[in-house]
Structure 1
């Protein structure tokens, strides 16, 4: 009886063989399914458009226009012309206009740099979102797996307590037991049934969470993976790797660049701007005929003197945001270092807990078998047997939790390193990225070619 406990635990983990739904398969399905990741990708593409918008500030705007008017007058009535004179003329004009800022104290260049940094930050946000999603998938995966193991363990407990209850009744019938033994067995069976129902509820909740992330219901799960090979050999190496490549840190660096460029753009508003403008067109009137071709070319230089405090406020705000971006970056460094250390310690702790739990399970099995034999010989009571089974159950639950914690801590460390991504894990998916889109939208003349076509 006692030996079947671990048998059920192993069966709950490995059932399904080659058809098992591996962690890699779950991560792959979640990557393709996750709406949050698609949302981050769309946000990055929207951020890329800011580059084209910033570049347009110093590029010409050309527009064509055509307009028409009909003018009429009614002359004053007189004795000779009692109805007055009516005169009507029609005029049509058509032309092109041209406007371009040729100098704005390098404000546009700063805005372009800010837009590029913002697009880069949005790309790193995709990677950050990707890591959060994949880690949540691993947690959901292991919750389903551990809850299935707990259900199997609870079912085994029910079988054991049912057998002990029947044994107590049989012993009572032949005068070798007491009603207390029967009552104790009944109480433990009731507790076991309640624990079984709680385990089923926990399993259903974890399955729903799994399906939310992965898009399909969990089938036969297997916690086997080989991603531990991505973990550095030492804690210091792990911290160094995280500080260089974690997307949250790279994002914070890009945010600093964007804030610095924003500050430069705000300061540039104090300087002069120069622009040129022109137009060319022709007109046609019903009475005068063609008016020929006319044109205009002009320039404008503007120097700000006073703007109601708006310029100074914008500079101060930009400087504050730059300082804030640097503070946020320091916070990101601290959080990543703490996450690496915590995950590293979690793996070490889980290893120790697994070793201790395995020893406890093995010892509890032997104790339970010995107590059952002694009870049969009359030197132990049914309560001793029930308590020994409870000890075995506690040790088994500890082993389940420790094994789950080891897997979650491993993937948590990969996330803290910045390596819980589809590329690093080698998932068979097309990596979601806005880099290609960003390169394409920087072609600011595409709009003109589209019109020409």
Structure 2
């Protein structure tokens, strides 16, 4: 059984050749995680709404051509054929639409801001998930080793109780009790192996490769908030989810303005230049050029209730966006308080667990000595070892919880970013793409370049 257990340990424990710090894991995830890539692409896709909205104020030019022919044979007349080729250059532009397009442009820009903050929020979520997976692997690796040692301890207790039974110094009850604890230790060890495998899979999902000799140290510098009030203030100022909710209010306000503007008039300029070349068997070749221009004024009178429904819907969505912003504010404040409390509590738990480990180790050593001289029983030794194992597991868990809580506090404060953590990576940004989108003559530039 011990040989099989050793094989399992070697198959799941990380390699010890190339160490990987938490900073390196965070850098790898930031550069390669598909969640961040998807959020960046969403910013670029959303930015195209700006160009779509701006097109409502710009002229539209189109070129169309047609080629056709006909023939006829009048009764008693001469057979006649005709062919024609025409080209038309069409122009149209909205001169005034009661500022509806202006509102739609503002709505598109605000929507792009929402997507940009969503990217930052996705980055925070990914980085926090990396931290959670990183320390989960460390925790579960230590638990596997601890439970392996615990299993070896109970193996030794089984052998000791059997030897004492043969010498007449023990009882079958002692042997039975030791074997019961031995079986339980094996079950706990296998459970730790399963948890470690799950943690390693989570690590590989977020970081992009398997964990390798992880270390628990990380230097926060001065990035951690020094008080809960400063953490809440930081969250309200810079948390991307809250900034995204505020930008969503702008989206809804602009949508309401656009819906209200739909009730107003629309003035458009429409023009065309036509050139036609034709041929008939009777008249031969001929050509003509013509043009037209007109102003078109449209005023909505009744639309079956569609305009009113659109306005009511936009107003409701504006109110909803404000309510959602309040909800986001409260949720983020709750996250800050929870992370702060967990961090403070885990520090106390570490101190308590360290004291418990020290005293429990003394109890185990003393109980074994007393058992050997007949003052304690095997059950006393088994119980003392169980308490020691519990204290050690509590210490391992508390250390992991403290580190995760510290990063959770950074995330809740809106500060879990590559800049604050000092990661050596290039920040993902779509600002250059957005600037190109804002260039309303981009299509003409592309044509001239071709």
TM-score bracket, normalised by the shorter chain, equals over 0.9
TM-score of the pair, normalised by structure 1: 0.93
Are 1:96 and 1:281, in contact at CA under 8 Å, matched by a contact in 2?
yes
Taking only aligned residues, the RMSD between alpha carbons, in angstroms, comes to 1.7
Whether 2:104 is the aligned partner of 1:111: answer: yes
Are 1:40 and 1:129, in contact at CA under 8 Å, matched by a contact in 2?
yes
Match of 1:38 in 2: 37
In structure 2, what is the Cα distance between the partners aligned to 1:369 and 1:139? Answer: 36
- The one of 137, 157, 162 aligned to 2:150: 157
How many residue pairs get aligned? The number is 435
Whether 2:384 is the aligned partner of 1:388: answer: yes
In structure 2, what is the Cα distance between the partners aligned to 1:31 and 1:181? Answer: 56
Match of 2:243 in 1: 250
Q: The residue matched to 2:429 in structure 1 has which SS? A: coil
Match of 2:73 in 1: 74
Alignment of 1:12-411 (within 5 A): 16=16, 19-77=18-76, 84-227=77-220, 229-287=222-280, 289-411=285-407
In structure 1, what is the Cα distance between the partners aligned to 2:16 and 2:80? Answer: 95
In structure 2, what is the Cα distance between the partners aligned to 1:364 and 1:422? Answer: 42
TM-score of the pair, normalised by structure 2: 0.94
Can you give the 5+ residue segments of structure 2 that lack an aligned partner in the other structure?
1-11
Whether 2:421 is the aligned partner of 1:433: answer: no
CA deviation map 1:218-274 (0-9, x unaligned):
110111101263112111011001001000010011100010000000000011111
Match of 2:4 in 1: none
Can you give the 5+ residue segments of structure 1 that lack an aligned partner in the other structure?
1-11, 78-83
More off after superposition, 312-321 vs 434-443: 434-443
In structure 2, what is the Cα distance between the partners aligned to 1:147 and 1:354? Answer: 17
In structure 1, what is the Cα distance between the partners aligned to 2:14 and 2:414? Answer: 30
For residue 451 of structure 1, report the CA deviation from its aligned partner. Answer: 2.5
In structure 2, what is the Cα distance between the partners aligned to 1:254 and 1:72? Answer: 65
Show structure 1 runs of 4+ deviating over 6 A: 12-15
Are 2:436 and 2:442, in contact at CA under 8 Å, matched by a contact in 1?
no
More off after superposition, 52-61 vs 368-377: 368-377
Are 1:13 and 1:149, in contact at CA under 8 Å, matched by a contact in 2?
no
Whether 2:442 is the aligned partner of 1:446: answer: yes
In structure 2, what is the Cα distance between the partners aligned to 1:16 and 1:421? Answer: 29
